[in-house]
Amino acid sequence: MVKIFAINCGSSTLKFKLFEMPEAKMIASGMVDRLGLNGSVFKIQNEKGEVKEIKKNISNHKSAVQLLMKELINFKILKNLNELGAVGHRVVAGGENYKKSTLIDKHVINNIKYLSIYAPLHNYSEARGMEAFAEANSNLPQVAVFDTSLYSKMPEVNYLYSIPMKYYRIYGARKYGAHGTSHRYIIHRVAKILNKKLEDLNIISLHLGSGASITATMHGKVIDTSMGFTPVAGITMSTRSGDIDPSLILFLMTQLKITDPDDMANILNTKSGLLGISELSPDMRDLEKAQQNNHQAKLAIDIFINRIVKYIGYYVAEMGSVDVITFSAGIGENDIDLRQQIISKLSFINAEIDPKKNNIKAEERDITGSKSKVKILLIPTNEELMIAKDAYNIGYLGQE
């Protein structure tokens, strides 16, 4: 048995889970919050559910990793650091450079920094986390697991935009998608749950959280996904606009006298979506509480559902048929009524949900109605386990 880290670094956070492999048993989890800010908080929880919290200013990722390593020993989760076998890091953007998870070295870290042109809010922080672990233990293998790798082999007809081809050749302007690690976990769980080969299934997987995406997998191959060049595209999200006419962006910049594109990007990423429509909250739970007496709250929910149904219909047409629709992530796993509402609009593909089976939160379950021609599955996502598995196989075992 060996211990494997799954790490997700943000600009002001470091989230972690520690797994015992190959059993895939989670033995610890936690995070550093407000990293680099006043009032930093370190939390760690062991497999018994016991929690330890430390409040102290933690200035950077290096300090966060040092504290994490120290507390793993102090909290008796590890006897010593030699029990660690590898570290897996979530990386948002791999561009076209990385079509699969990759062993990390200085060259890879530099590439990930360069690829921040596609994910400026994420890649630099993830690279700093890698550097921090390398400094803490240079002999500990590290593996980069890319959100975009699942979509690297999509058909050209789906990943290219209808703009001059030279922009793709020179600048890599194409659909890259996101949430790939989550969707990869989900589609493989589908095959295992149904005891079928992935190649025999057409799957539409719904990752519905604060960020939300829909992916179509046809006969074991991902053919399309809702997010685009960046995660702002696709369906309506908590604070992201989803798909929008580019000319509207130019119009708004003129009307609002916006000269810095980053200011417009901030509106589309942080002030739009459910929050922008409702003018109340980005949280679906708040909107559902308010919807009876608040038209805009109800409208935001209706638009969220409308965009999801449109994408499902588009993917059914593209694949010719669908065998399975899955729900995952925060909203997808916990919002019983929303799942019912979405499936109720899919009678054109003979999809039906069982209200009694559906009356559950965050538990893996078949919620298909008795007359449904499509399997409806609730599958809590586990991106961290996928990261840990890749780190174990590539970093610890040395397998590609």
How many angstroms from the chain centroid is the CA of residue 12? 18
List CB contacts of 252: < 8 A, sequence separation 6 or more. Answer: 258, 264, 267
CA 79 to centroid of chain Cα atoms: 32
147 is catalytic: yes
> Tokens 């929050």, residue?
275
Of 33, 105, 147, 335, the active-site residue reads 147
- Shortest CA distance to 20 belongs to which of 49, 46, 44? 46
How far is the CA of 332 from the CAs of 152, 249, 279, 342, in angstroms? 25, 30, 22, 10
Q: Smallest Cα–Cα separation from 177: which of 221, 126, 229, 218?
A: 229
Q: How far apart are CA 181 and CA 158, in angstroms?
A: 19
Compute the distance between CA of residue 243 and CA of residue 301 in angstroms, rounded to an integer: 16
Q: Strand pairing partners for 2? A: 21
Coil/strand/helix, residue 139: coil
Q: Which of 268, 244, 245 is nearest to 256 (CA)?
A: 268
Q: Which residues are catalytic?
A: 147
